[in-house]
């Protein structure tokens, strides 16, 4: 074929780091602490909910309402309405998507135009940049920076902060949106109220839409509190809040996500949705609805999964911190789950080479944090690697074994 | 046809009041602090790519048909149960823990393997499960990935009218220019009107191709007409694609639903076509599980890789348990493809009976049906009925829109106006036609029969 085949919107976005690392992980017999998903079962009530959805009314095998299975949109509206202190209409303010990934895509496609600027806080989940580019937008990066630790032995993700002046300087008349991720992947940072107020005031001052990726909202530790920026004064009207059933109920494979927001923005997401995938699968939506209904009954109580799960995962986090320290790696304590990082150990960023070496030689998989940075900033942050700790005890023990072997080799 | 099963419920109170107040506050603070013009409303404006694409025909018609006293032959979804073994596979899968987590982005391994095996047989060639297959969120998702991946600003895309309604907005959203050509009927005095009587004029078709033509979208078996393109018809299209170095996006979701005397042919198997064709299939239509929203694309890697790029930047991966269940269902039927029990054989047999029943019913009341050679829709010319639509509002709507509304209200029978499958300029060509869906259980068709018989009695 003579013609150039692909559309120009695919330029610069065809590369995907996960493909490389997942492939490598599957080829080597390594303990996989790389890709972010649990290797233990979801809670029983979620599994039961799915069982019921598929053995119930056979019409659940057919299409449901395009913008979201009504019982799901209703429970999301009521559940998050309370959390955000906002009246949420299940039909105008809620859109169900194929994972939070699909929600992000829909938001970018709906609102970002050729030449629009999108502020991305680094390190960031790697899809924000290509999604901005695919929509013809211009990513504008601002980095979280480690402020010197006081007396603490270990860095905390809260020590990674935005410089307010620097952040303000990134806003221009072309800024269409800012994408916020709290709790943050990969750092685990939970943005404080003061930090969110700073972002909020700049968004309002410059009339910018805030896309708030809050998929890890339930996984906060050490008594930290997750705050949704949409709940701050003046923010509901300009915020799209994204959530994930996969991260909420440890069912990443169900690929159910959602967006909450004002109708003035949501109507544009609905237009993209009806012209891209139109409907999401029915039965998984029914299962998520039932799971939320269960959590609504248990909300705030010790029996709530949203209470138990972060407690269990915090223990895993602490286990991993100790294990990494024992071999001389210096983790950043996450206020959020999953992401102790590692400073330390020099084209292809150093951390990427390090990870490949580690997979092959030490039997441990992690993800280089430079994956979460734009190309121009990678060289400043190329000595961190990300471990996922939402893993079964047996996996963490296998990790300990590998780390011990590594330590013994170093000691020799 | 895609449809929402549930209608919009009663609306909760909106926050209109407080929002207006907020807008006023922000606006005045901007005025006092900055001297610039009010940009605010601009920032909330949609991206240009979706300008004019916000309306959707289904919303209006689903609402209309949602009244439980209406016999709904509009929605394009089965009200029959999927086959038992399909439900059973899903049930088994739900118990397997690992299937609750992410799988491979471009398609769950066991599913792409099954698809590779099935289509390898149908294409009579080896199909690489990882490089030549992509699993998507329904065939709708495959169409989206193909169009986003391959259609650029200024590219022309030929669309055959009537068309599945998403083709036009998807092409526009990608910045492409749709170029329309209509199916036209031969005169049929005396004999029964069939979807095969509707054809493309080869000269007219050729005139639509030029150096800017990036792709043609083909849908066979066709929705809403039910047309199954013949070898000769496909050859005309193939010749033009090769001559103009054009891609072919072939929507074959109804590939198993062809009736006696007809054969579904894959244009990708024609000489010179594999390298330029994207072929789309659907689990929803194959196994009567539209709510699983799984589809797939088969094609050469140099095309599929671009659809994969769209996938990894849009939804990343499809649901795991549903893909595994689908794989298992496929294996069951792949092993017995010559068996009448195989769903690929049994469903069209079952539907042919329903088709014939519908044809007879529509005939009996003076609606002139076009017998479909495939698919699960039947369209009928309603103009001969000369129904009195004077009490219908919206006089500038096409005739079929008014007819369907009248029929839903007065006869408690719903359908879909075929002009919904036309672009603005061609709506008049098809405004006398209405589409009925017949993948419905017997009791639904019985109820439709009752209505039609009563209608008939009223006339005489």
Per-residue pLDDT of A249-302, as tens digits, reads 999 999 999 999 999 999 999 999 999 999 999 999 999 999 999 999 999 999
Q: What is the mean pLDDT of residues A387-409?
A: 90
Binding-face residues of A in 7-36 toward B, CB within 8 A: 7-10, 13-14, 16, 18-19, 35
Verify that B313 and B353 share a domain, yes or no.
no
Rounded-to-integer distance, Cα B159 and Cα B140, Å: 16
Verify that B289 and B249 share a domain, yes or no.
yes
Residue A162 has pLDDT above 60, yes or no: yes
Count up the domains in chain B and report the number: 2
Q: Cβ of A272 and B312 within 8 Å?
A: no
Q: Phi, psi at residue A307, to the nearest 5°?
A: -100, -50
pLDDT class of A151 with cuts at 50, 70, 90: low
Residue of A nearest to B141 (CA): A277
Q: What is the pTM of this model?
A: 0.91
Rounded-to-integer distance, Cα A33 and Cα A337, Å: 13
What CATH number is associated with residue B90? 3.40.640.10
* Structure token pair of residue B32: 């006092």
Point out which residues pair with B213 in neighbouring strands.
Answer: B156
DSSP type of residue A157: G
Q: Does residue B5 sit within a domain?
A: no
Nearest C-alpha neighbor of A187 from the set A151, A145, A218 = A145
Q: Cβ of A60 and B3 within 8 Å?
A: no
Alpha-helical regions (H) of A35-191: 44-55, 70-84, 99-111, 128-134, 164-169
Q: Does residue B1 sit within a domain?
A: no
Which one of B290, B307, B335 terminates a domain? Answer: B335
Q: What is the CA radius of gyration of chain B?
A: 24
Nearest C-alpha neighbor of B321 from the set B11, B72, B101, B169 = B101
**Which residue is it, tokens 């018989």?**
B453
Nearest C-alpha neighbor of B414 from the set B79, B78, B74 = B74
Mean predicted lDDT score pLDDT of chain B: 88
For A307-339, the DSSP string reads HHHHHHHHHHHHHHHHHHHHTT--PEEPSBSS-
pLDDT at A336: 41
Verify that B163 and B75 share a domain, yes or no.
no
* Structure token pair of residue B27: 């606006």
Residue A227 has pLDDT above 90, yes or no: yes
Mean predicted lDDT score pLDDT of chain A: 90
Q: Cβ of B9 and A91 within 8 Å?
A: yes
Nearest C-alpha neighbor of A317 from the set A341, A343, A300, A352 = A341
Residue A36 has pLDDT above 90, yes or no: no
Rounded-to-integer distance, Cα B293 and Cα A68, Å: 13
DSSP type of residue B209: -
* Structure token pair of residue B67: 């009244």
Nearest C-alpha neighbor of B297 from the set B164, B140, B158 = B140
Tell me whether strands B433-437 and B377-381 are parallel, antiparallel or unpaired: antiparallel
Q: Cβ of A35 and B102 within 8 Å?
A: yes
pLDDT at B43: 63
Verify that B330 and B281 share a domain, yes or no.
yes
Which one of B303, B335, B367 terminates a domain? Answer: B335
A301 touches chain B (CB under 8 A): no
**Which residue is it, tokens 């138990």?**
A308
**Which residue is it, tokens 């300008």?**
B51
Name chain B contacts of A279, Cβ cutoff 8 Å: 2, 4, 138, 140, 291, 293
Residue A322 has pLDDT above 50, yes or no: yes
B87 touches chain A (CB under 8 A): yes
pLDDT at A347: 62
DSSP type of residue A220: B
Q: Cβ of B3 and A110 within 8 Å?
A: no
| pLDDT tens digits along A324-383 | 888 777 776 554 433 334 333 446 788 888 888 888 888 899 999 998 999 888 887 878
What CATH number is associated with residue B451? 3.90.1150.10
pLDDT at B245: 97
Helix or strand holding residue B320 (H, E): helix B320-334
B391 touches chain A (CB under 8 A): no
B332-to-B3, B118, B284, B327 alpha-carbon distances in Å: 28, 11, 17, 9
Helix or strand holding residue A60 (H, E): none
pLDDT per residue, tens digit, chain B (460 aa), is: 333 222 222 222 233 333 333 333 333 333 333 333 334 445 678 999 999 998 888 877 877 777 889 999 998 989 999 999 999 999 999 888 889 999 999 999 999 999 999 999 999 999 999 999 999 999 999 999 999 999 999 999 999 999 999 999 999 999 999 999 999 998 888 788 999 999 999 999 999 999 999 999 999 999 999 999 999 999 999 999 999 999 999 999 999 999 999 999 999 999 999 999 999 999 999 999 999 999 999 999 999 999 999 999 999 999 999 999 999 999 999 999 999 999 999 999 999 999 999 999 999 888 899 999 999 999 999 987 777 777 776 678 899 999 999 999 999 999 999 999 999 999 999 999 999 999 999 999 999 999 988 888 877 6
Name chain B contacts of A207, Cβ cutoff 8 Å: 26, 30, 39-40, 43
**Which residue is it, tokens 């996006």?**
B249
Quote the domain boundaries for residue B72: 56-80+342-457
| pLDDT tens digits along B251-282 | 999 999 999 999 999 999 999 999 999 999 99
Verify that B293 and B430 share a domain, yes or no.
no
Q: Cβ of A267 and B54 within 8 Å?
A: yes
Q: Which residues of A101-115 are buried (b: 16+ CB within 10 A; e: fewer)?
A: bbbbbbbbbbbbeee
Residue A401 has pLDDT above 80, yes or no: yes
Q: Cβ of A131 and B313 within 8 Å?
A: yes
Which of B94, B302, B316 is facing A101, going by the closest CB pair?
Answer: B316
Q: Does residue B94 sit within a domain?
A: yes
Q: Cβ of B166 and A278 within 8 Å?
A: yes
| pLDDT tens digits along A86-123 | 999 999 999 999 999 999 999 999 999 999 999 999 99
Residue A228 has pLDDT above 70, yes or no: yes
Name chain B contacts of A9, Cβ cutoff 8 Å: 148, 152
Rounded-to-integer distance, Cα B204 and Cα B246, Å: 17
B174 touches chain A (CB under 8 A): yes
Nearest C-alpha neighbor of B427 from the set B418, B438, B435 = B418
Rounded-to-integer distance, Cα A49 and Cα B114, Å: 28
**Which residue is it, tokens 């008349």?**
A173
Q: Is the dihedral of CA A140, A239, B293, B218 positive or negative?
A: negative
A75 touches chain B (CB under 8 A): no
Residue A314 has pLDDT above 50, yes or no: yes
| pLDDT tens digits along A234-250 | 999 999 999 999 999 99
Rounded-to-integer distance, Cα A193 and Cα B13, Å: 29
Nearest C-alpha neighbor of B376 from the set B258, B218, B217, B294 = B258
Residue of A nearest to B295 (CA): A277
Q: Cβ of B309 and A6 within 8 Å?
A: yes
DSSP type of residue B300: -
Name chain B contacts of A60, Cβ cutoff 8 Å: 291
Name chain B contacts of A35, Cβ cutoff 8 Å: 102
Which one of B304, B335, B366 terminates a domain? Answer: B335
Rounded-to-integer distance, Cα A31 and Cα B208, Å: 57
B312 touches chain A (CB under 8 A): yes
Verify that B435 and B346 share a domain, yes or no.
yes
| pLDDT tens digits along B339-361 | 999 999 999 999 999 999 999 99
Contact A84, A259 (CB under 8 A): no
Rounded-to-integer distance, Cα A345 and Cα A350, Å: 9
Binding-face residues of A in 146-185 toward B, CB within 8 A: 173, 176
Cis preceding linkage at B162, omega within 30:
yes
pLDDT at B2: 30
Q: Does residue B71 sit within a domain?
A: yes
Distance between the two ends of chain A, CA-based, in angstroms? 60
Verify that B369 and B414 share a domain, yes or no.
yes
A257 touches chain B (CB under 8 A): no
Give me the helix-helix angle, A99-111 and A263-274, nearest 10°. 110
B84 touches chain A (CB under 8 A): no
Tell me whether strands A175-181 and A209-213 are parallel, antiparallel or unpaired: parallel
B416 touches chain A (CB under 8 A): no
CATH architecture assignment, domain A44-298: 3-Layer(aba) Sandwich (3.40)
Name chain A contacts of B6, Cβ cutoff 8 Å: 64-65, 69-70
Domain ranges of chain A: 8-42+303-410, 44-298
Alpha-helical regions (H) of B340-379: 343-364
pLDDT class of A412 with cuts at 50, 70, 90: low
Point out which residues pair with B282 in neighbouring strands.
Answer: B295
For chain A, what's the residue count? 412
Name chain A contacts of B94, Cβ cutoff 8 Å: 47, 50-51, 54
DSSP type of residue A185: T
Residue B290: strand, helix, or coil: helix
Verify that B396 and B290 share a domain, yes or no.
no
Q: Cβ of B47 and A135 within 8 Å?
A: yes
Torsion angle, alpha carbons of B148, B150, B156, B161, to 10: -70
pLDDT at A152: 64
Name chain A contacts of B138, Cβ cutoff 8 Å: 277-279
* Structure token pair of residue A362: 């030490």
| pLDDT tens digits along A180-202 | 999 999 999 999 999 999 999 99
The class that CATH gives domain A8-42+303-410 is alpha beta
């Amino acid at each position: 074929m003579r013609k150039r085949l692909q559309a120009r919107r695919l330029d610069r976005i065809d590369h995907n780091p996960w493909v490389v690392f997942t492939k490598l992980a599957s080829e080597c017999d390594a303990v996989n602490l790389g890709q972010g998903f649990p290797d233990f079962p979801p809670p029983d009530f979620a599994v039961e909910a799915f069982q019921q959805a598929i053995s119930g009314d056979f019409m659940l095998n057919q299409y449901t309402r395009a913008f979201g299975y009504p019982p799901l949109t209703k429970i999301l509206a009521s559940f998050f309405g309370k959390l955000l202190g906002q009246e949420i209409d299940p039909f105008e303010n809620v859109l169900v998507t194929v994972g939070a990934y699909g929600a992000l895509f829909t938001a970018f496609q709906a609102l970002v135009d050729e030449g629009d600027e999108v502020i991305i806080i680094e390190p960031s989940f790697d899809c924000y940049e290509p999604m901005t580019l695919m929509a013809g937008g211009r990513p504008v990066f601002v980095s979280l920076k480690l402020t010197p630790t006081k007396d603490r032995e270990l860095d905390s993700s809260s020590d990674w902060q935005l410089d307010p002046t620097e952040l303000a300087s990134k806003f221009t008349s072309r800024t269409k949106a800012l994408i916020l991720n709290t709790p943050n992947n990969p750092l685990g940072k939970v943005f404080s109220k003061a930090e969110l107020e700073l972002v909020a005031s700049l968004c309002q001052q410059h009339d910018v839409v805030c896309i708030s990726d809050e998929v890890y909202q339930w996984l906060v530790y050490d008594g930290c509190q997750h705050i949704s920026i949409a709940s701050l004064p003046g923010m509901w009207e300009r915020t799209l809040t994204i959530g994930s059933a996969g991260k909420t109920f440890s069912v990443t494979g169900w690929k159910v996500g959602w967006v909450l927001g004002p109708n003035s923005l949501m109507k544009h997401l609905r237009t993209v949705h009806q012209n891209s995938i139109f409907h999401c699968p029915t039965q998984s939506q029914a299962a998520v609805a039932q799971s939320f209904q269960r959590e609504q009954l248990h909300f705030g109580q010790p029996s709530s999964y949203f209470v138990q799960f972060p407690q269990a995962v915090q223990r895993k986090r602490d286990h991993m911190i100790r294990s990494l320290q024992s071999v001389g790696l210096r983790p950043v304590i996450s206020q959020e789950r999953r992401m102790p990082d590692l400073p330390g150990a020099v084209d292809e960023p150093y951390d990427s080479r390090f990870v490949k070496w580690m997979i092959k030689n030490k039997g441990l998989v992690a993800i280089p944090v430079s994956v979460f940075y734009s190309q121009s900033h990678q060289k400043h942050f190329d000595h961190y690697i990300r471990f996922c700790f939402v893993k079964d005890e047996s996996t963490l023990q296998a990790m300990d074994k590998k780390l011990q072997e590594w330590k013994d080799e170093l000691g020799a | 046809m895609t449809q929402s099963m549930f209608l919009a419920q009663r609306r909760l109170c909106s926050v209109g009041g407080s929002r207006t107040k907020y807008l006023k506050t922000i606006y005045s603070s901007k005025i006092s602090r900055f001297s610039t013009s009010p940009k605010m409303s601009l920032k909330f404006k949609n991206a240009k790519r979706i300008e004019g694409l916000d309306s959707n025909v289904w919303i209006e018609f689903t609402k209309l048909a949602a009244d439980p006293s209406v016999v709904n032959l509009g929605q394009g979804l089965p009200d029959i149960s999927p086959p038992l073994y399909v439900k059973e596979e899903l049930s088994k899968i739900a118990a397997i823990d690992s299937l609750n987590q992410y799988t491979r982005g471009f398609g769950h391994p066991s599913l792409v393997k099954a698809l590779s095996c099935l289509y390898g047989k149908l294409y009579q060639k080896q199909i690489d499960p990882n490089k030549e297959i992509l699993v998507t969120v329904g065939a709708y998702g495959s169409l989206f990935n193909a169009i986003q991946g391959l259609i650029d600003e200024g590219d022309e895309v030929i669309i055959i009218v009537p068309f599945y309604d998403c083709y036009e907005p998807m092409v526009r959203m990608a910045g492409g220019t749709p170029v329309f050509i209509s199916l036209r009927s031969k005169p049929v005095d005396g004999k029964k009107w069939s979807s095969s009587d509707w054809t493309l004029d080869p000269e007219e078709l050729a005139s639509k191709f030029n150096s800017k033509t990036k792709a043609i979208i083909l849908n066979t078996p066709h929705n809403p007409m039910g047309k199954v393109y013949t070898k000769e018809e496909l050859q005309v299209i193939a010749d033009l694609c090769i001559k103009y170095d054009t891609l072919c996006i072939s929507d074959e979701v109804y590939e198993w639903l062809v009736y006696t005397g007809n054969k579904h042919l894959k244009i990708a198997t024609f000489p010179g076509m594999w390298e330029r064709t994207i072929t789309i299939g659907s689990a929803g239509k194959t196994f009567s599980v539209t709510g699983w929203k799984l589809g797939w694309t088969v094609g050469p890697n140099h095309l599929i890789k671009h659809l994969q790029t769209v996938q990894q930047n849009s939804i990343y991966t499809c649901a795991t348990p549903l893909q595994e269940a689908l794989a298992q269902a496929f294996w069951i039927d792949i092993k017995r493809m010559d068996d009448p029990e195989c769903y690929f054989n049994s469903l069209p047999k079952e539907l042919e009976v329903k088709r014939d029943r519908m044809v007879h019913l529509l005939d009996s009341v003076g609606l002139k049906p076009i017998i479909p050679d495939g698919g699960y829709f039947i369209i009928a010319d309603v103009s001969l009925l000369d129904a009195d639509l004077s009490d219908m509002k919206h006089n500038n709507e096409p005739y079929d829109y008014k007819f369907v509304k009248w029929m839903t209200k007065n006869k408690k029978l719903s359908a879909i106006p075929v002009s919904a499958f036309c672009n603005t300029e061609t709506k008049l060509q098809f405004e006398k036609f209405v589409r009925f869906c017949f993948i419905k259980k017997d009791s639904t068709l019985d109820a439709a029969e009752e209505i039609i018989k009563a209608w008939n009695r009223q006339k005489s």
